[in-house]
Amino acid sequence: MASTAAPVAISTPTKKTPTTTPTKASATPVTDSPGTWRHPRIEEITRRQEASTFTEKNVKRILINIALLASLFFLLPVVKKALPPKRSAPQYVITPCRISFT
């Protein structure tokens, strides 16, 4: 005896999906950025970057400082000759001091 069974189809139950997708009613509109945002410490960053670069300005400062230092060495003897010689204290002031401290 042969049994003839009808094929049974097994199906997975499915949910009925709505035809439209839900959307948020209170969606915030996206505003375009004006493109003017700056880092809060951009001034400090720029100052440090400029301080770390060696430019013509630095060379000029070095040369000016060397020239001023050299002029001080050359002007010192001229100023010493132009000023009157340094006088020592008068003898009548020095003698009582020597006597009182000895």
Is residue 47 domain-resident?
A: no
Within-domain flag for 95: yes
Asked, for residue 46, whether it belongs to a domain, the answer is no
Helix (H) or strand (E) holding 51: helix 42-51
pLDDT at 5: 62
Q: What's the whole-number mean pLDDT along residues 83-89?
A: 76
pLDDT tens-digit series, residues 56-72 = 999 999 999 999 999 99
Q: Is the pLDDT of residue 1 over 60?
A: no
The domain in which residue 68 lies consists of 55-101
Task: Please check whether residue 91 lies inside any domain of the structure.
Answer: yes
Residue 60 falls within a domain, yes or no? yes
Task: Note whether residue 66 is domain-resident.
Answer: yes
66-72 contacts, C-beta under 8 A, 24 or more apart: none
- List b or e across 12-45, with b for residues whose CB sees 16 or more CB atoms inside 10 angstroms: eeeeeeeeeeeeeeeeeeeeeeeeeeeeeeeeee
Whole-number Cα distances in Å, 98 to 86, 90, 92: 21, 13, 11
Q: Is residue 68 part of a domain?
A: yes
Q: Is the pLDDT of residue 28 over 90?
A: no
**Count of domains in the chain?**
1
Whether 76 maps to a domain, the answer reads yes
